[in-house]
Amino acid sequence: MFRQKIILNKKVKMARLYATCHGVYRLTVNGKRPDDREFAPECTVYREYLCYQTYDVTELLNTGINIIGMHVGDGWYHGFMTKAQDETYDPALAVLTQLEVTYEDGTADCFGSDETVKVKESPVRCSDLFAGERYDANRMPYGWESAEFIDDEWLDVVPADFGYQNLKAQYGQPVRPIMILPVKNVLTSPKGERIIDFGQVIAGRVRLNIHEPSGTKVTVIHTEGLDAKGNFFDNNPTADQRIEYISDGNEQVYEPYFTFQGFRYVLVDGIKDLNEEDITAVVLSSEKENAGTFACSNADINRLYENTRWSQHANMLSLPTDCPQREKAGWTGDIQVYTKTALLNEDITPFLTRWLENLACEQKENGSVPFVVPLAGAYIGQYEMYAEQFKTPEAVSPAGWGDAAVLVPFYMYCLTGNMQILKQQYESMKNWCDFVLRTARENRPDGSMIPEEVEQYLWNTGHHYGEHLIPSYSRDGYGEGTFEAIRVSTKYVAPIYGYHSVSSMSEIARVLGNDGDADYYGEMAQNMKAAIQKGVIDEKGNMPADLMGAYAMPLFYRLVPENLKQTFAENLVRKIEENDGCLDVGFLGIPVLQDALCRIDRRDLAYDLLFNEKAPSWLYEVKHGATTIWESWFALDEDGAPFISEIYGMPFCMSLNHYAFGCVDDWMFRNINGINYEEPGFKKIRIQPQPDDRLDWAKRTFKSAYGEIVSEWEKKDGNFELFVKIPCNTTAVIVLPDGQRFERGSGAYRFRTDSSDAR
Ligand code: BGC
């Protein structure tokens, strides 16, 4: 705890407080928090990018003595899983504040966090984003935030100078409590445990009313799922997720300060008669404006949509993460796969803008981008391991993950028309493409039979994750099968992603008027396409692996030679039939599979995949009680129990909260309600619903940069009725299922298939 006494002798007209720390902080001014943000100063690449927050504290100050108080915990800066491992890392907790005051008489003062700050060990005995928190209420120096409190026993701080070059005003919305969930059920397990169920898998933490005798230890443990019999089962063996509170006998509302958990169920120990009103779940997320809604006549599809929304809340907490319980890491591939869906539902432009700036900080001199951003803590060892294994020092950049450098800003531009992000990331994007092209040119796989003039345009060396988690290989979780899937799918994934980034780069350069770059990357992309057609696809249309994704990706990215299109189409359909109509694609195959089917005129099959209830499928999850999107289709077995595999000799369960497979919502947006952009940012819109027999009505709204777009349809008396809303300064083409076509400017319109007399 840090405490600074500041004396203001005159009446304050206006005051700003700037604050940051090494760790995470909770700030008070005279005992009051200026806002409800959590986890300031946010997770960034601290050596280059440390946010400070700016607060209007005018109303909180008094004439006379004022106390600036800060609790500081480890957070990302000091956490074992997340701390930097370079010379800029300093193991001490540290704070930096500056109070700027303008008095009513027009004079001004400025107070920095100097040697007058006092410090004391806090009741938060330890905190960790993964392991949880231990809080001893007996250690709370009650009254410490008031002017009268005597802090003689507190220690003097040690002034330190870390320089100011990495400080940045916070950009992007803060983390806040976005919802409070009451208890949904109190379950008694066969083992006799009293399990509290909040009914929803979330990222957040519990808030407890505690009125236990002094010395009582209250513990809370968290999990996302129960075992097959309904007993408490920790589905996250790698992180403790444990809260401990030691009572001092006073009645208290306790919510952990500096940790959050991924959970749905908790076990509470130490509270005698826990009333349901005494515990709630606080949902935490980076606050973002809602941008979309969806509902249709099928309750399971609606739940699937809700599940994507919940996984999005949980995995956008200061940075885009893979999962909120096990890793909480900025995996670049996960957000690359999910960006489009995310933007259709929330305004995450500021959030992603900050993360992309940080991606550029982590980008190596040679243009490579690590698989997580920030690259810190536990991931450094992983990075080094791959660098050694693949002999690629400073260049561990898996296809589909590193490509986030180009594709995330590009998708942001496509959906919101945001040119600024393209300008901001331009150098980073080019560096990435140059890295891919250089790697393709200079490195060849051992024993390759592909002629060099072809192979120089194939990105096919280095460490990759392939499609990542192809179900037929990944039944065993992260076992040998998953690694085999990496080996086979990398052969097409890496060259195709290389092509996708480089061809997107050409478009980006053209948009910004950099014609030289546009021509260069355009030509390189053509060479890559030709190389894929010679070196990856054989003359009979075979791919390096007989997999759904292997056919879907070339079809989607328009890489199949004309004479082989039929073969690819047949192969893709065959794979789906062989697989009993179930999905067999991983993270990088899923975003293109249904589009590839539409491209070969098999939208019916794309819908079959959507409605399928057998594993692996989206509705298998829904039918098995999913409230979020799972990491793997097999995360829960048929009997509803977490599927347990093994990794590094430890039991391992898949996370129930990974958003990547939720990208199906992007397909639903463009197909069920048929909302498409014809020009970036929806300046020109096409509304062409492609209804399936299994749906009777569907409504989608989307807040585009120009205003709200609505596509709402219903089947009535054998007819199709469509209501659309087109925002100002845009135009739209509307196509009904019977082929009738209309052009409209902004406004609200109704159409019916039985008449062209649209209103
Ligand atoms: C993460 C993924 C990530 C992957 C890369 C996992 O541990 O949870 O979502 O993209 O590693 O293989």
Atom of ligand 1 nearest to the CA of 468: 12
Q: What is the pLDDT of residue 757?
A: 47
According to the model, what pLDDT value does residue 755 have?
A: 64
pLDDT category at 284 given cuts 50, 70, 90 is: very high
Pairing of strands 731-735, 684-687: parallel
pLDDT, one tens digit per residue, over 603-631 is 999 999 999 999 999 999 999 999 999 99
CA-angle at 401, arms to 398 and 403, nearest 5°: 100
Among 236, 238, 315, 322, name the best residue to mutate to test ligand 1's pocket (greatest count of ligand atoms within 8 A of Cβ): 322
Of 235, 315, 327, best ligand 1 pocket probe by most atoms within 8 Å of the beta carbon? 327
pLDDT confidence of 462, banded at 50, 70, 90? very high
The more confidently predicted of residues 229 and 179 is 179
The DSSP 8-state label assigned to residue 37 in this structure reads -
pLDDT of residue 641: 77
Residue 274 vs residue 125, higher pLDDT: 125
Nearest CA to ligand 1 atom 4: 331
Any atom of ligand 1 within 6 Å of the Cβ of 467: no
> Both tokens of residue 318?
């200061």
Which atom in ligand 1 lies closest to the alpha carbon of residue 587? Answer: 10
For the chain, how many residues are written?
Answer: 759
Tell me, using a 6 A CB cutoff, whether residue 465 lines ligand 1.
Answer: yes
User: Which residues lie across from 188 on neighbouring strands?
Assistant: 194
pLDDT tens track for 702-749: 999 999 999 999 999 889 999 999 999 999 999 999 999 999 999 999
Q: What would the pLDDT profile of 451-460 be if each residue is shown by its tens digit? A: 999 999 999 9
Give CA 310 to chain center in angstroms. Answer: 11
Task: Name the residue type at position 714.
Answer: E
Coil, helix or strand at residue 12: strand
68 vs 6: CA distance, rounded Å? 8
Give the model's pLDDT for residue 689: 98
- E-state strands within 189-306: 194-210, 217-223, 242-246, 252-254, 261-269, 279-286, 289-290, 292-296
In ligand 1, the atom with minimum distance to the C-alpha of 326 is 8
pLDDT tier, 146 (very low <50, low <70, confident <90, very high otherwise): very high
Task: Average the pLDDT over 190-208 and give the result.
Answer: 97
Spatial distance between the Cα atoms of 707 and 754, rounded to a whole number of angstroms: 30
Residue type, 563: N
Q: What is the per-residue pLDDT across 378-406, written as a single tens digit (0 to 9) for each? A: 899 999 999 999 999 999 999 999 999 99
**Is it the case that residue 478 has pLDDT exceeding 80?**
no
Ramachandran angles phi, psi of 419, nearest 5°: -80, -25
In the reported structure, the alpha carbon of residue 428 is separated from the centroid of ligand 1 by a whole-number distance in angstroms of 23
pLDDT band (50, 70, 90) for residue 653: confident
As a whole number, mean pLDDT of residues 696-701 equals 98
pLDDT in tens, 536-555: 999 999 999 999 999 999 99
Q: Nearest C-alpha to atom 12 of ligand 1 is from which residue?
A: 465
Return d(Cα 709, Cα 688) in angstroms, integer.
13
Distance 331 CA to ligand 1 centre (A): 7
> Cβ(408)–Cβ(369) under 8 Å?
no
Q: Is 327 in the pocket of ligand 1 (CB under 6 A)?
A: yes
**How many A from CA of 322 to the centre of ligand 1?**
7
What's the CA-to-centroid distance between 402 and ligand 1, angstroms?
13
Cα dist. 743→677, 685, 732 in Å? Answer: 14, 10, 6
**Ligand 1 centroid to residue 485 C-alpha, Å:** 14
C-beta of residue 274 within 8 angstroms of C-beta of residue 303: no
334 lines ligand 1 (CB under 6 A): yes
CA-based R_g, the chain, Å? 27
Res. 601 pLDDT band, cuts 50 70 90 = very high
pTM of the model: 0.97
Indicate which residue's Cα is closest to atom 1 of ligand 1.
322
Ligand 1 center to residue 646 CA distance, Å? 16
Measured torsion, CA atoms of residues 337, 586, 555, 442, in degrees rounded to the nearest 10:
80
